[in-house]
Amino acid sequence: MGSKPRDYDVGHVEKDQHVIDRLSIFGVQDRALKNKKQGGFSAFIPWSYKKDNTAFAKLIDEEAGPNQYLRIIAISRIMLDNVPHIQASWFSEGKKTGQIALGFWSR
């Protein structure tokens, strides 16, 4: 844990329940904030799985589209209101999706 940001990939083999499980860091963050010695999370950074040029490309063909990515950003902002920064990436998602994600109150 500590104060370093954490990211995770979305949109390959995970199901909706996996997304909900990942967002359970809300409770971890609450406990860290109550314990002044632990810094907690400074950011939550979802990244979409991109199969190009990866070892998984032959095993996992499915990728998340912009719609799923934007839903993850939106639900993260709602569920993780105790995490100071929900970050969006134009670099991994493309400029248009990145711009839209900023409208979802990500940074």
Whether residue 23 is contained in a domain is answered as yes
**Measured in Å, how far apart are the chain's first and last C-alpha atoms?**
21
Count of structural domains within the chain:
1
pLDDT confidence of residue 107? 60
Whether residue 93 is contained in a domain is answered as yes
Could you read off the pLDDT tens digit of each residue along the chain, which spans 107 residues? 444 444 455 555 567 777 777 777 778 888 888 887 777 888 888 888 777 777 777 777 777 788 888 988 888 888 888 888 888 888 888 999 999 998 876 56
Whether residue 88 is contained in a domain is answered as yes
pLDDT confidence of residue 14? 65
Please give the residue range of the domain that contains residue 58.
6-102
Whether residue 1 is contained in a domain is answered as no
Whether residue 53 is contained in a domain is answered as yes
The pair of structure tokens assigned to 69 is 């990515």
Whether residue 74 is contained in a domain is answered as yes
